[in-house]
């Protein structure tokens, strides 16, 4: 039957990493939906902490102050893809340019990453998860049964994000988006603690000329190979 996909008893972990706007969350959500798995957006966790740092006027250059704030901050991702910090719904707030501009600095702190990784690993203990981020295959779930590294040219990624903003009636400038993506990728790749990197055993998928459905189907076929 077209579009059908067998959901077997064996629950696995699927790690999806890659640079900014490569399509990770879009395909991760669809793969999770097809498999009846839980989707965990680890970027939303770093964004939530960044939002709190900005809201509480914490000195973001002070790693200890940021870590202390994280320890007092409960971050919840629900099944509707809503995000809460200490019971405050911040789903939209974590996508603002202010948060996006500062998140890679916050995510560069080794002690912050250690605490986030512990939380993320707890969320994945029952398997049946699709987790996306930058270090899922290399650090958070190194034993994930399926590891994917999504890439696309920076022009294509900026174009997709620009079109998304236009559709949502948000202010948007293609050149600025491209510069922001390049800057974030550089910071995420060059940091010392768990930098953005393809795991040795991850399958790289270049999505530049692929549709969302193509990418989802490629990942589902990798899952079927495990079963």
Ligand X SMILES: Nc1ncnc2c1ncn2[C@@H]1O[C@H](COP(=O)(O)OP(=O)(O)OP(=O)(O)O)[C@@H](O)[C@H]1O
Ligand Y SMILES: Nc1ccn([C@@H]2O[C@H](COP(=O)(O)O)[C@@H](O)[C@H]2O)c(=O)n1
The length of the chain is 227
The residue within the footprint of ligand X, chosen from 139, 147, 161, 191 (CB under 6 A), is 161
Binding track, positions 156-195, relative to ligand Y; x by CB under 6 A: ----------------------------x---x-------
SS3 46: helix
SS3 130: strand
| Interface segment toward ligand X; rule CB under 6 A; list 49-57, 137-145, 185-193, 206-214 | 206-214
Tell me how far apart the alpha carbons of residues 17 and 24 are, in angstroms, rounded to a whole number.
7
Report yes or no: 216 and 34 within 8 Å, Cβ to Cβ: yes
Annotated binding residue 19 = yes
Which one of ligand X, ligand Y, none interacts with residue 34, CB within 5 to 8 A by kind? none
Which one of ligand X, ligand Y, none interacts with residue 180, CB within 5 to 8 A by kind? none
Which one of ligand X, ligand Y, none interacts with residue 162, CB within 5 to 8 A by kind? none
Which residues inside 86-145 make contact with ligand X, applying CB under 6 A?
none
Tokens of 49: 């902490």
Which one of ligand X, ligand Y, none interacts with residue 134, CB within 5 to 8 A by kind? ligand Y
Non-local (6+) Cβ contacts of 216 within 8 A are: 27, 30, 31, 34
Tokens of 227: 């079963």
8-state DSSP, 89: E
Nearer to ligand Y, 5 or 58 (CB): 58
Tell me how far apart the alpha carbons of residues 74 and 67 are, in angstroms, rounded to a whole number.
13
Report yes or no: 132 and 124 within 8 Å, Cβ to Cβ: no
> By CB under 6 A, is residue 25 in contact with ligand X?
yes
> By CB under 6 A, is residue 177 in contact with ligand X?
no
Non-local (6+) Cβ contacts of 107 within 8 A are: 46, 113, 134, 188, 191
Which one of ligand X, ligand Y, none interacts with residue 103, CB within 5 to 8 A by kind? ligand Y
> By CB under 6 A, is residue 160 in contact with ligand X?
yes
Q: How far is the CB of 189 from ligand Y (least distance, A)?
A: 10
Which one of ligand Y, ligand X, none interacts with residue 130, CB within 5 to 8 A by kind? none
Nearer to ligand X, 63 or 198 (CB): 198
Tokens of 91: 């789903």
> By CB under 6 A, is residue 133 in contact with ligand Y?
yes
Tokens of 76: 């919840």
Q: Angle at Cα 183 formed by Cα 180 and Cα 84, nearest 5°?
A: 65
User: Which residues are near ligand Y by CB under 6 A?
Assistant: 20, 42-43, 46-47, 103-104, 107, 133-136, 184, 188
Binding residues: 18-26
């Amino acid at each position: 039957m077209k579009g059908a996909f067998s959901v077997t008893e064996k629950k696995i972990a699927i790690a999806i990493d890659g640079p900014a706007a490569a399509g990770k969350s879009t395909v991760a959500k669809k793969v999770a939906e097809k498999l009846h798995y839980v989707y965990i957006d680890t970027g939303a966790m770093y964004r939530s902490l960044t939002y709190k740092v900005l809201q509480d006027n914490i000195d973001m250059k002070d790693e200890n102050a940021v870590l202390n704030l994280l320890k007092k901050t409960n971050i919840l991702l629900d099944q509707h893809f809503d995000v809460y910090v200490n019971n405050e719904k911040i789903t939209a707030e974590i996508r603002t340019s202010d948060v996006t501009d500062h998140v890679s600095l916050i995510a560069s702190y080794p002690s912050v990453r250690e605490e986030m990784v512990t939380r993320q690993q707890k969320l994945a203990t029952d398997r049946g998860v699709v987790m996306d981020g930058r270090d899922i295959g290399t650090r958070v779930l190194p034993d994930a049964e399926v590891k994917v590294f999504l890439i696309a040219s920076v022009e294509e990624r900026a174009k997709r994000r620009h079109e998304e903003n236009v559709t949502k009636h948000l202010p948007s400038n293609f050149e600025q988006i491209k510069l922001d993506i390049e800057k974030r990728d550089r910071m995420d790749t060059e940091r010392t603690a768990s930098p953005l990197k393809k795991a040795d055993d991850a399958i790289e998928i270049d999505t530049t000329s692929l549709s969302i459905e193509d990418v989802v189907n490629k990942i589902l076929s990798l899952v079927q190979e495990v079963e």
